[in-house]
Amino acid sequence: MLSPTISGAMSQRPLAWPHAPTHELSSAGTYFVTAATYLKKHYFRTRTSLDWLQHELLSAACEFGWQLEAWSVFSNHYHFVAHSPRDSDCAKNLSLMLAALHRRTASSCNGLDENSAQKTWHNFWDTKLTYHKSYLARLNYVHQNPVKHGLVQVANQYPWCSARWFEGTASPAAIRSIYRFKTDALSIHDDFIPRVEA
């Protein structure tokens, strides 16, 4: 039996489930997001499925009013940095956007209807970026993520990330500035080993 002190403390505040990330989306801003497939399975390992996943991510962001700054899409996970909708004082529709994205891509990936019970996606982790240096470091992290995973030697060679787009639209000074930011000290959930089939 729990002591009255412990029992009282437990009733005062909810316990965070250690395996489910807490989503603090009550305020607008810039967010870093990582999402993973169930059991890290390589559902998106073909070029066609990676094309589809990237297309659906960009489409969902547009549909829900999120402005993507950087993204990397892989066989079993993805990352992005994005600004929440300008016409909202919160970021709560992020959950709705990712639910729609995951529903569409799961049904397409598995040849299933959208109401299928088969689980393709597991969860997502989000971090609100409140420090400018943290924001810039995560931009660099997402652009360079294909290099980190050993898929290419230069990020702009990977077709399913924003590096090529970024280098084609940003000024040379901005590119140099962001690519100089160190990423090795960042605490990011990224223990995935993606692959791409020829």
Is residue 78 classed as helix, strand or coil in its secondary structure? strand
Output the pLDDT for position 112: 43
Output the pLDDT for position 15: 40
Output the pLDDT for position 16: 42
Q: Is 7 exposed, middle or buried (0-12, 13-18, 19+ CB in 10 A)?
A: exposed
In the chain the domains, ranked by start, together with CATH numbers, are: 28-179 (3.30.70.1290)
CA angle 34, 41, 105 (to 5 degrees): 65
- Which one, of 50, 59, 78, lies nearest residue 159 by Cα? 50
| Helices marked H in 65-131 | 93-110
Is 79:142 a contact under the CB 8 Å cutoff?
Answer: yes
Ranges of the chain with pLDDT below 70 = 1-28, 90, 108-118, 198
Output the pLDDT for position 115: 46
Is residue 124 classed as helix, strand or coil in its secondary structure? strand
Is 182:137 a contact under the CB 8 Å cutoff?
Answer: yes
Helix axes 132-148, 172-179, angle to 10 degrees: 80
